[in-house]
C-alpha cells in the first residue's frame, strides 16, 4: 500500500489524484488550506484532507509537492523537520532538485515530475527525473504513480524537465488555444456555439485518432487532406504566410526560458 500525501490540492494535484484513484493500492491524503477545495476533493475522490501539514512523514510515505513554484520554499521550510526520510516528488515547474534539497535541510530522496492535466482522464504525459542517488524502488514508486495517469518519459538530465515543460507540460494549453481559434472561426461562419464546439473537438479527436491508428507520417496525413489546386492548400498557405510553425517554436522556447528563469529566481538566497 502506497501512502501518498499531496501538499496542495489544486488543478494538477486533482488531475493526478483522479488518475490514481482508479489504480488500487494507494492511500491518498491532501493538505490544502482552501476549505472548498478540501470538500470537493473529499467528495469527488473519497480522499482524506487536512488543512495543516501532519506532524510527521515516515520513510515509507510519499509526499507530492503540488503547490505553485512561488510557494515551494515556504512549504519546504515547514516540511523539513517533519520528513523522516519520506520520498518527495515535486511537480513544480522550474525549481531544481538542489534548491529543493537545500530547503528540505539536505533531504536527498527527491524525484522531479512534469505532468500535464489530461492525467485527469488517464491520458496524461509526464516527464520524470531522479538524481543519481535515488534508488530503483523510489524511481519505481514515482513511475507507478504517474503511469496510473497516463504515459511517462524518464529524462537523463534535469534540464530535460525544462524541455518537457515546454512541450507536454504546458502543451495542453497550446492545443486548447488552437481549438479556441477553430471554434471562433466556426462561429464566424455562422455555426451556433454548441455546433462550433462539436465541429472543432470532433475534428481534433478524429485527426489524432487517425494519426495514431494509421501510424503514418504526420506530413503525409496532412498531404492526404491537401488536394492540389483545392481548398486546404489555401488555408495552409495562409498559415505559412503567418509563420505559424515558427510561432509555435517561439512559444515553446519562451515557455522553456520561463521555466529556467523561475528556477533561477526562486532558488536565489
Ligand X SMILES: O=C(O)[C@@H]1CCC=N1
The answer to whether the CB of 60 falls within 8 A of the CB of 68 is: no
Q: Which three cell numbers stand for residue 156?
A: 537523463
Q: In terms of CB distance, is 5 or 117 closer to ligand X? A: 117
Q: Contact letters (x/-) for ligand NAI, 64-93, by CB under 6 A?
A: --xxxx-x---x---------------xxx
Interacting residue ranges for ligand X, rule: CB under 6 A: 93, 165, 169-170
97 binds ligand NAI (CB under 6 A): no
11 is in an annotated binding site: yes
106 is in an annotated binding site: no
Q: Counting Cβ atoms within 10 Å, is residue 93 exposed (0-12), middle (13-18) or buried (19+)?
A: buried
Q: Residue 28: which of 57, 4, 61, 55 has the closest Cα?
A: 4
Count the site residues for ligand NAI by CB under 6 A.
26
Q: In terms of CB distance, is 10 or 50 closer to ligand X? A: 10
Per CB under 6 A, the list member of 49, 101, 107, 115 interacting with ligand NAI is 115
101 binds ligand NAI (CB under 6 A): no
Q: Which three cell numbers stand for residue 127?
A: 516527464
Helices (H), the chain: 11-20, 35-45, 69-79, 97-103, 136-147, 159-164, 171-188, 193-214, 218-225, 232-241, 244-267
Residue 259: CB minimum distance to ligand NAI, A? 9
Q: In terms of CB distance, is 52 or 268 closer to ligand NAI? A: 52
Q: In terms of CB distance, is 53 or 185 closer to ligand NAI? A: 53
Q: Cα separation of 13 and 238, whole Å?
A: 40
- Please state the residue numbers annotated as binding site for NADP(+): 7-12, 66-69
Amino acid at each position: 500500500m502506497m501512502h501518498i500525501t499531496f501538499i496542495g490540492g489544486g488543478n494538477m494535484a486533482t488531475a493526478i489524484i483522479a488518475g490514481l484513484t482508479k489504480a488500487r493500492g494507494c492511500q491518498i491524503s491532501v493538505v490544502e488550506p482552501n476549505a472548498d477545495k478540501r470538500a470537493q476533493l473529499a467528495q469527488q475522490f473519497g480522499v482524506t484532507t487536512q488543512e495543516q501539514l501532519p506532524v510527521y512523514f515516515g520513510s515509507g510515505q510519499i509526499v507530492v509537492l503540488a503547490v505553485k513554484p512561488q510557494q515551494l520554499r515556504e512549504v519546504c521550510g515547514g516540511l523539513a523537520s517533519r520528513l523522516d526520510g519520506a520520498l518527495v516528488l515535486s511537480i513544480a515547474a522550474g525549481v531544481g532538485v538542489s534548491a529543493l534539497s537545500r530547503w528540505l535541510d539536505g533531504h536527498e530522496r527527491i524525484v522531479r515530475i512534469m505532468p500535464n492535466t489530461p492525467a485527469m482522464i488517464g491520458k496524461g504525459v509526464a516527464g520524470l527525473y531522479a538524481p543519481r542517488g535515488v534508488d530503483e524502488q523510489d524511481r519505481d514508486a514515482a513511475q507507478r504513480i504517474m503511469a496510473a495517469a497516463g504515459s511517462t518519459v524518464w529524462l537523463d538530465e534535469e534540464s530535460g524537465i525544462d524541455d518537457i515543460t515546454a512541450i507536454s507540460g504546458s502543451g495542453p494549453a497550446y492545443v486548447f488555444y488552437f481549438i479556441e481559434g477553430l471554434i471562433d472561426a466556426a462561429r464566424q461562419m455562422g455555426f451556433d456555439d454548441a455546433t462550433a464546439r462539436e465541429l472543432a473537438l470532433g475534428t481534433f479527436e478524429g485527426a489524432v485518432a487517425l494519426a495514431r491508428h494509421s501510424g503514418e507520417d504526420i506530413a503525409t496525413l496532412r498531404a492526404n487532406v491537401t488536394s492540389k489546386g483545392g481548398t486546404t492548400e489555401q488555408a495552409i498557405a495562409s498559415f505559412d504566410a503567418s509563420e505559424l510553425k515558427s510561432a509555435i517554436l517561439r512559444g515553446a522556447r519562451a515557455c522553456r526560458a520561463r521555466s529556467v528563469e523561475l528556477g533561477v529566481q526562486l532558488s536565489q538566497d
